[in-house]
A and B are shown apart, each in its own frame.
Chain A
Amino acid sequence: MSENTLHYHFVVSGDDFTQAGTASSAVKKTLKQLGFDPRIVRKMAISLYEGEINMVIHGGGGEIDVFIDAEQIAAVLTDHGPGIPDIDLAMQEGWSTASEQVRGLGFGAGMGLPNMKKYADELLIDSEVGKGTTVRLTVFLSGK
């Protein structure tokens, strides 16, 4: 990490659906204010929102760290929830373990991880069952 890295930190509540998306909205606002290309802002906002929602509905909440430097915007989402037993399966469009209650709110389409893969330039998932999940989303500024 260089000296010229901006860092933003967010705590995401695991039981408050009404607050879900707060961090993504704040990051989006910041990126806009910093003057990033709208396409870059959209890529980060969509993928981060999906990650944040997953932290709330599956991961029991956690923390988000966003790093911005001259080359990239990276978001690291860390939770200490149940973990993902089969990441390949979780990545499939339409696969979801979301509850009926969560589906009733409009989530649980099983499109979150596929959207993150589609919109971020890089998606890294590190998950251990019973320990938690760390997701790293990167958007490259030069366009990869």
Chain B
Amino acid sequence: MKTKELCDKLGWELAFGCGDNEISGGIYCGDLLSIVMSRAPVGCLWVTIMGNVNAMAVASLTECACVVLAEGVSMDDETRAGAEKGDITVLRTDMPIFEASLAAARALGLA
């Protein structure tokens, strides 16, 4: 499923990017960037509350399909610039990390 389709299905906000990436690496949750860096699968949906520019760099380096900002975390201008540079799709939801991941897992047929 493409990230845009998932976003529409769950009523989340497409906060940045085109949403054209295919989710092919499951779902990954984490906020500590070094851990995410070493463990997030390529093509995953990365659910986090770390909505800063460094997270965008990690998203780009790990090649996740998209970043989901949970808990209603918003992006500042720096983070947007980082997302643009890394060509990252960012979705937003008010849900906590667990609920967001569970909803995404159900929508993707993973749970």
Interface residues of A (CB under 8 A from B): 17-18, 20-21, 24-25, 28, 38, 42, 45-46, 49-50, 53, 105-107, 109-112, 115, 118-119
Contact = CB atoms under 8 A, between A and B. Distances in A.
Interface string B36-59: 011000100000001011110110
B61 A49 contact: yes
Contact of A17 (B38, B54, B85): B54
B50 A106 contact: yes
Contacts, number: 65
User: Is chain B's binding surface mostly helix, strand, loop or mixed?
Assistant: helix
Contact of B53 (A18, A28, A53, A119): A18
Q: Is the interface of A mostly helix, strand, loop or mixed?
A: helix
A18 B37 CA distance: 17
A49 B37 contact: yes
Contact of B33 (A38, A107, A119): A107
Interface size class of B (residues with CB under 8 A): 20 to 34
B60 interface: yes
13 contacts: A17-B53, A18-B53, A18-B82, A20-B57, A25-B85, A25-B86, A28-B60, A46-B61, A49-B57, A50-B34, A106-B33, A106-B58, A115-B38
